[in-house]
Amino acid sequence: MSFIIWGWGSETKGTPTGKQKCPHCKHVAFHEKLDLNKHFDLFFVPVYNYGNKSWLRCNACGYDYGGSDSPATGVTDGFSQFLKMYLFLIFLVVVVFIVIPLLVLFAVGATVVFGFLGFFLSMMAAMMGGG
């Protein structure tokens, strides 16, 4: 029996940028640049990045700012990121269930592939209670 382990995740990495004046608390304090990377995982390996954001954070007051992708601005394009991930999943399904079987069909021969396909469909029908 074969199975596919997939999921998505994110990781945030901070890099110190030095002292700057915070636009919120007006203190000259250390800031860090935060980078958020969202990714689709296949077998626990990130295979597709679908969202990268960067912003600055004041270490004195914790205020996040900078750029249109900043969490402080509330601007997100979550739908377009979701659409990209959805299209990637469709691509992955097409490759796994259509392209690879067609390659096997040409490499092994139609008899073996269609025999396996018939066996697989009959097993699925039996498990669903259809025969």
Terminal Cα-to-Cα distance of the chain (whole angstroms) = 21
pLDDT digit string, tens, across residues 74-113: 444 556 667 777 788 888 888 778 878 777 777 766 666 6
HEC secondary structure over 21-61: ECCCCCCEEEEEEEEEEEEEEECCEEEEEEEEEEEEEECCC
- pLDDT at position 46 is 79
Do 70 and 25 fall within a single domain?
A: yes
- pLDDT at position 28 is 92
List residues bridging with 125 in a β-sheet: none
Q: Show the tokens assigned to 115.
A: 């025999």
Query: Can you give the pTM of this predicted structure?
Result: 0.48
Distance (Å, whole) CA 101 – CA 94: 10
**Domain stop point among 52, 76, 100:** 76
Where in the sequence is the domain holding 50, given as residue range(s)?
Answer: 1-76
Do 70 and 92 fall within a single domain?
A: no
Distance (Å, whole) CA 8 – CA 74: 22
DSSP code for 16: E
Tally the domains of the chain. 2
User: Exposure pattern of 63-94 as b/e (b: 16+ CB <10 Å)?
Assistant: eebbeeebeeeeeeeeeeeeebbeeeeeebee
Do 44 and 65 fall within a single domain?
A: yes
Where is pLDDT greater, at 32 or 77? 32
Do 70 and 83 fall within a single domain?
A: no
- pLDDT at position 74 is 41
